[in-house]
Amino acid sequence: MKQFTSVHDVQDIAALVNEALELKQSPYAHKALGQDKTLGLIFMNPSLRTRLSTQKAGLNLGMNVMVMNLDKEGWALETQDGVIMDGSTVEHIREAAAVMGQYCDIIGIRSFPKLQDREEDYSEDLLRKFIELTGVPVVSLESATRHPLQSLADLITIKEQTAAGKRPKVVLSWAPHIKPIPHCVANSFAEWMQQADVELVITNPKGYDLADEFTQGAQVLHNQDEALQGADFVYVKNWSSYEQYGKVLTNGEGWMITNEKLALTNNAKVMHCLPVRRGLELSHEVLDGPNSLVIEQANNRLYAAQAVLKRMLEAN
Ligand code: SN0
């Protein structure tokens, strides 16, 4: 595997999920693979799970790991080509990324969308430049439009919790929030679930439909109660509007998943990528109750990252 930026970079998704589950059984079985190899993790935005799980994944494979919060610790980065740098930016991505490529065998990069200009965010300019300029395999640690390591961990979790031969109903349910949140997790989840053996239903208020390129084929319902009927998994996530790009259109009253809402489902397991705002996105009772998978889901981030890094080490 040369890059991991979306589901489209994976040839055999089921095999990758199985590989992650094998790594979960014996995480240290491939320590020799990463010997004398360096993983560089670059963050332009905050992170807890992605940072720690990907770091640990590299260490489990015997790699050296370097982490840098480039937004806080690096020089102010210029990403536009051809500009005269007589303002606040100090270093151009052309040099910065090329230099990081000299020190690392694999690079992970996190860069959120700005949620100002839809075309700019959906062009994935920074991620594409990183891939081109570093010259080494690149793993997306959440880009402007996707969060593929999260989605792989989500699929691993669903597979683990589903009886063999059953095709579960998975509902991606929009949740309330107070500020504009990226579409990445929801886009990516929709994209991965379309490739998996599940029935995907998406439910969100009017004005919050995700981009067609990610939801194509999936049923989208604006009535949450209808969507929740018979669900085996409810994936809770907020996102800002795609149509009125980056805007918060409603306070989403009545959209939080509670025990009352869960009663409409097939005793569904509840998922969230975290961080979660308790009492706003998801109720305390559900998060603390027996149906919540959020901690196991976060645990699986480690094996998702380890499976991807293993594939990259094997290919190079
Ligand atoms: C990010 C997102 O894309 O939804 C990262 C999730 C892995 N989440 C947030 O930005 C939450 C911020 C907040 O204030 O709740």
Return the HEC string of 114-144. CCCCHHHHHCCHHHHHHHHHHCCCEEECCCC
Do 111 and 45 contact (CB within 8 A), yes or no? yes
What pLDDT sits at residue 216? 87
Buried b (16+ CB within 10 A) or exposed e, 8-37: eebeeeeebbebbeebbeebeebeeebeeb
Residues facing residue 202 across a β-bridge = 172, 220
Strand partners, 200: 170
Return phi, psi of residue 78, to 5°: -95, 130
pTM for the whole thing? 0.98
Q: Cα torsion for 95, 96, 99, 100, to the nearest 10°?
A: -150
CA distance 118 to 128: 16
The predicted pLDDT at position 69 comes to 97
Atom of ligand 1 nearest to the CA of 182: 3
Cβ–Cβ under 8 Å, residues 209 and 240: no
Spell out the residues 6+ positions from residue 207 whose beta carbon is closer than 8 angstroms to its own.
241, 243, 244, 249, 250
Alpha carbons 273 and 236: distance in angstroms, whole number: 8
Contacts of 56 (CB under 8 A, 6+ apart): 302, 305
Measured in whole angstroms, the distance separating CA 75 from the mean position of its chain's CA atoms is 26
Three-state secondary structure call for residue 186 = helix
Beta partners for residue 212, in sequence order: none
pLDDT value for 184: 98
Nearest to 271 by CA among 147, 140, 150, 145: 150
Task: Please state whether 65 falls in left (phi above 0), alpha (psi between -120 and 50) or beta.
Answer: beta
Distance 30 CA to ligand 1 centre (A): 33
181 lines ligand 1 (CB under 6 A): yes
Ligand 1 center–CA 26 separation, angstroms: 31
CA–CA distance, 101 with 96 (Å, rounded to integer)? 9
CA dist list (Å): 113 to 58, 90, 146, 230, 246: 26, 21, 10, 34, 10
Q: 273 in ligand 1 pocket by Cβ < 6 Å?
A: yes
Q: Candidates 3.40.50.1370, 3.40.50.1980, 3.40.50.720, 1.10.3720.10; correct CATH number of 150-297? A: 3.40.50.1370
CA of 46 to the centre of ligand 1 (A): 9
Can you give the pLDDT at residue 36?
98
Domain 3-146+301-315 CATH (choose: 3.40.50.1370, 1.20.120.160, 3.40.50.280, 3.30.70.1070): 3.40.50.1370
- The full set of domain ranges for the chain reads 3-146+301-315, 150-297
Task: Please give the pLDDT value at position 217.
Answer: 82
Task: Give the per-residue pLDDT at 223.
Answer: 98
The residue behind tokens 């959440």 is 142
Q: Is 150 annotated as a binding residue?
A: yes
For the chain, residues with pLDDT lower than 50 are none
Sign of the alpha-carbon torsion through 57, 192, 119, 281: negative
State the amino acid at position 117 in one-letter form.
D
The pair phi, psi for residue 57, each rounded to 5°, is -60, -45
Between the CA of 84 and the centroid of ligand 1 the distance, in Å, is 33
Does the annotation list 275 as a binding residue? no
